[in-house]
A and B are shown apart, each in its own frame.
Chain A
Amino acid sequence: MATMAFRGTPKQERELRKFIQAHKDQPGAMMPVLQEAQGVYGYLPIEVQQIISEEMGVPLSQVFGVATFYSQFSLTPKGEHTVSVCLGTACYVKGADKILSAIEDRLGIKAGECTPDGFFSIESCRCLGACGLAPVMTVDGEVYGKCTPESAVEIINSYYKEV
């Protein structure tokens, strides 16, 4: 995937620096700071990690180390919409793998990738705990339960219709 140029705004930077100043003295502030930064920018490019390193007074390598350890932190930008297919056991037993491949086929990309137009990205995620509705997928946090490969593709299509 081509890397996109970093397009952070001064407003975003002010927001992040303010948050860090308010929290850097509490013990174990790194995780909340990274979570906030991802909330502000949508992802954690090296430029953002540099701001964190500078503001918190810790080496960039350490920031990078933490940011790359956790699967929720993304170093690459996400699509405008994110579809996430639950691959927890309950969903898997009920055919989540077929849902994922149907979506991959529909969008022409694999899990972890973003469509070239930046509209959709696909993720596979860990158990959402909505096992009663297995198999489950979410689009931008909205949960769709009891999916079939057909209904999953239809849900994806509905986002294209909205445009």
Chain B
Amino acid sequence: MTMTLDRLTEIKQKNEELVLVRKLVAAKAEEMAKHTAYRKQILVCGGTGCTSSGSKKVIDALESEIKEKNLTDVLVVRTGCFGLCALGPIVIVYPEGAFYSQATPEGAKRIIDEHIIKGMICKDLLYPETVHTDGEILPLSKTNFYAKQMRIALKNCGVIDPENIEEYIALNGYLALHKVLTSMNQDQVIDTVLASGLRGRGGAGFPTGRKWAFCKSTKGDIKYVCCNADEGDPGAFMDRSILEGDPHAVIEAMAIAGFAIGASQGYVYVRAEYPIAVQRLEIAIKQAREYGFLGENIFGTGFNFDIEIRLGAGAFVCGEETALMTSIEGKRGEPRPRPPFPAVEGLFKKPTVLNNVETYANIAQIILKGADWYSSIGTETSKGTKVFALGGKITNVGLVEVPMGTTLREIIEEIGGGIPNGKRFKAAQTGGPSGGCIPSVHIDTPIDYESLSKIGSMMGSGGLIIMDEDTCMVDIAKFYLEFTCEESCGKCVPCRIGTHRLLQMLDDITKGKATLEELDRIEELAEHMKVSCLCALGQTASNPVVSTLRYFREEYIDHIVNKRCTAKKCKDLLHYRIDPDKCKGCTLCARNCPVNAISGKVKEPHHIDVNTCIKCGLCMQNCKFGAVFME
């Protein structure tokens, strides 16, 4: 059945109040809830993080309790990611907006019995930050984690049920597609995206509108729209969360892109490591077809568009655009030289537009709210917001969306809640294996595409890994090189051999086998790789080394000259020793040493012969007095 504006409006009105209860502040939400069939709504995060923490068991417990108590006016909704993954599983009860963290099935029973039935919020189960000292409950938007965030790409994540298209429609879903198809021409759509200043969120930051304009101007009977959901940067999970929490936003945007460039077929290339995202996307595509947002003659305008999912199979290089398309074609996912650019010759040799998930997630709102609204957010050169996956040594691990230009300090100290265990901030890593690190001296840099590349890092797809003083920068550089070395597809020589050589040199440094000349060689090789590798994987592979060398050179020198790793991470440079003041001479360590490296008489301090020691650590494990230490 063809979708019409009337039907769309009807579905929107039918569901609007139900969903708005979750968006409004408490008093208004309570008023709104009276208009719906449900007195209480319990939202439970069903994203990967919370599912792994056991949110399914919480949902089961809630539902069985509701059934047992016959509470017909209570609704349980499984949503996408709320962002605060470290505190999962997360449960929010509306209209109050009570935010329960680290929920358990037992806690779920109490929420039903005490909160839902008796109206007494279980304050001891709430996220502590939402309980004010005087006992009052703060709305989520007032907590440090959420206060500085601005949600555009994530606006529906954690709000709607991603498996229910009507909830997406309730929050203006598919209205942008209708607007585009019925009142705009191709150029107007492209001009709007161009004027918004939206740039590719996959990392490179190419203006999205310009990409679309290139592809539209290329002649061709068949064109394709692709979505890059091959989120391979370790530590980045923005795209996964969007697909899990708001898949229709991506579908709608792809259809809009299809109209703008004149394509009728789209492909989403998703990592197979993301089973929940794939499943939600499948459901969403099916529903979009049933409701007439995909398929033939959409909104009766004669525009046809459909989407297919293609699964990746674990190759990082397939995040590179030409490699991704080669993989969809069913071949080895190797990149090819550009030009020709995909906009001219892409998938199946046809003109193709390829954008990242997060980029698409902005499109519908740019169409609805206008380019001026979008370009008013952010900095001079980087408009809008950026989603970061905040991870590593940070209190609030999770997903955050902030306007471009927010400083790293705001993200780490305010939103992220600082570094745990009283440790000191050492560096932040952005851009994954292609990016670099930001040392503490640059913590007040406003984040945008240009400022990050100026200080030797890059925006990347949005992984933001925080490191404290226990992190060894040489070891981290080596970690990334191991990654790119393994993921190099092997097609071009500079990358295949260059990554190996770089890794070898780093390995020598962490083992105390290198000389200072190694540092010059690393920099020289990095320079060569930057100019001669075929694709971005190789061109940027040296970034983690170059940027750590730039800011933490003394740490490299310490490894090479003094054979010392102050972060105590590089095992080969560490030695086990016994503190003579703490050693009681119990002989337990000596008896457990597999290579008889420990000597000493009973009741006298023992000694480890570092030349014999194989660093197995058994002495340290066995010592009851904490006398064995590493240095």
Chain A residues proximal to chain B, CB less than 8 Å: 27-32, 34-35, 65-66, 69-73, 87-90, 92-94, 125-134, 136, 141, 143-145
Kindly identify which residue among B236, B310, B393 contacts A28, using a CB–CB cutoff of 8 Å. Answer: B310
* CB neighbours of B237 from chain A (8 A): 127, 129-131
B526 CB → nearest A CB, Å:
20
* CB neighbours of B432 from chain A (8 A): 89
Give the distance in Å from the alpha carbon of A136 to the alpha carbon of B88 in the complex.
14
Known contacts being A73-B313, A129-B274, is A89 close to B463, with CB within 8 Å? yes
Q: Are B331 and A130 in contact (CB under 8 A)?
A: no
Q: Are B314 and A132 in contact (CB under 8 A)?
A: no
Q: Which residue of B lies closest to A68 (CB)?
A: B332
Q: Are A129 and B273 in contact (CB under 8 A)?
A: yes
Kindly identify which residue among B49, B313, B334 contacts A130, using a CB–CB cutoff of 8 Å. Answer: B49
Q: Are B348 and A132 in contact (CB under 8 A)?
A: no
Known contacts being A70-B313, A72-B314, A89-B391, is A129 close to B489, with CB within 8 Å? no
Q: Are B330 and A29 in contact (CB under 8 A)?
A: yes
B251 CB → nearest A CB, Å:
20
6 contacts between A and B (CB under 8 A): A31-B310, A72-B312, A73-B313, A126-B273, A132-B397, A134-B391
Q: Are A127 and B315 in contact (CB under 8 A)?
A: no
B370 CB → nearest A CB, Å:
33
Q: Which residue of A lies closest to B52 (CB)?
A: A143
Give the distance in Å from the alpha carbon of A22 to the alpha carbon of B333 in the complex.
24
The yes or no answer to B327 lying at the interface (CB within 8 A) is yes
Q: Are B332 and A127 in contact (CB under 8 A)?
A: no
Most buried by B among A92, A93, A125: A93
Give the distance in Å from the alpha carbon of A3 to the alpha carbon of B314 in the complex.
24
Contact with A along B209-242 (1 / 0, CB 8 A): 0000000000000000000000111111100110
Known contacts being A29-B330, A90-B397, A127-B235, is A132 close to B479, with CB within 8 Å? no
Query: How many A-B residue contacts, CB cutoff 8 Å?
Result: 137
Q: Are B232 and A90 in contact (CB under 8 A)?
A: no
Q: Are B48 and A128 in contact (CB under 8 A)?
A: yes
Q: Which residue of A lies closest to B327 (CB)?
A: A31
Q: Are B234 and A65 in contact (CB under 8 A)?
A: no
Q: Are B391 and A131 in contact (CB under 8 A)?
A: yes
Kindly identify which residue among A89, A126, A130 contacts B52, using a CB–CB cutoff of 8 Å. Answer: A130
Q: Are A66 and B332 in contact (CB under 8 A)?
A: yes
Give the distance in Å from the alpha carbon of A132 to the alpha carbon of B45 in the complex.
13
Contact with A along B378-396 (1 / 0, CB 8 A): 0000000000010111000
Known contacts being A89-B429, A145-B52, is A69 close to B333, with CB within 8 Å? yes
The yes or no answer to B304 lying at the interface (CB within 8 A) is no
Q: How large is the interface on B (under 10, 10 to 19, 20 to 34, 35 or more residues)?
A: 35 or more
* CB neighbours of A71 from chain B (8 A): 313-315
Q: What would 4 more interface pairs be, CB under 8 Å, given A30-B331, A35-B313? A: A88-B234, A90-B392, A127-B273, A145-B53
Contact with A along B257-277 (1 / 0, CB 8 A): 000000000000000111100
Give the distance in Å from the alpha carbon of A70 to the alpha carbon of B232 in the complex.
13
Contact with A along B295-333 (1 / 0, CB 8 A): 000000000000000111111100000000001111111
B317 CB → nearest A CB, Å:
9
Q: Which residue of B lies closest to A56 (CB)?
A: B330
Q: Are A66 and B463 in contact (CB under 8 A)?
A: no
Q: Which residue of B lies closest to A73 (CB)?
A: B313
Known contacts being A29-B330, A31-B310, A71-B313, is A92 close to B479, with CB within 8 Å? yes
Q: Are A131 and B233 in contact (CB under 8 A)?
A: no
Q: Are A93 and B393 in contact (CB under 8 A)?
A: yes
Give the distance in Å from the alpha carbon of A143 to the alpha carbon of B391 in the complex.
18
Q: Are A35 and B311 in contact (CB under 8 A)?
A: yes
* CB neighbours of A129 from chain B (8 A): 48-49, 231, 236-237, 240-241, 273-274
* CB neighbours of A65 from chain B (8 A): 331-332
Give the distance in Å from the alpha carbon of A32 to the alpha carbon of B313 in the complex.
10
Give the distance in Å from the alpha carbon of A53 to the alpha carbon of B235 in the complex.
37
Q: Are B310 and A133 in contact (CB under 8 A)?
A: no
Known contacts being A31-B327, A89-B235, is A94 close to B392, with CB within 8 Å? yes
Give the distance in Å from the alpha carbon of A44 to the alpha carbon of B251 in the complex.
33
Q: Are B313 and A127 in contact (CB under 8 A)?
A: no
B248 CB → nearest A CB, Å:
20
Q: Are A134 and B397 in contact (CB under 8 A)?
A: yes
Q: Are A70 and B391 in contact (CB under 8 A)?
A: no
Kindly identify which residue among A30, A90, A93 contacts B330, using a CB–CB cutoff of 8 Å. Answer: A30
Which chain B residues (400-449) contact chain A, with CB distance < 8 Å?
A: 429, 432
Q: Are B311 and A90 in contact (CB under 8 A)?
A: no
The yes or no answer to B467 lying at the interface (CB within 8 A) is yes
Q: Are A132 and B88 in contact (CB under 8 A)?
A: yes
Which chain B residues (132-156) contact chain A, with CB distance < 8 Å?
A: none
Q: Which residue of A lies closest to B244 (CB)?
A: A129
Q: Are A127 and B236 in contact (CB under 8 A)?
A: yes
Contact with A along B271-287 (1 / 0, CB 8 A): 01111000000000000
User: Which are the 8 A-B pairs with shortest beta-carbon distances?
Assistant: A132-B85, A30-B330, A88-B234, A70-B313, A129-B237, A90-B391, A143-B52, A71-B314
The yes or no answer to B452 lying at the interface (CB within 8 A) is no
Q: Which residue of A lies closest to B471 (CB)?
A: A93
The yes or no answer to B465 lying at the interface (CB within 8 A) is yes
* CB neighbours of A130 from chain B (8 A): 48-49, 52, 85, 237
A116 CB → nearest B CB, Å:
24
Q: Are B330 and A28 in contact (CB under 8 A)?
A: yes
B567 CB → nearest A CB, Å:
11
* CB neighbours of A92 from chain B (8 A): 234, 479
Kindly identify which residue among B52, B232, B274, B348 contacts A136, using a CB–CB cutoff of 8 Å. Answer: B52
Q: Are B273 and A128 in contact (CB under 8 A)?
A: yes
Q: Are B479 and A131 in contact (CB under 8 A)?
A: no
A51 CB → nearest B CB, Å:
16
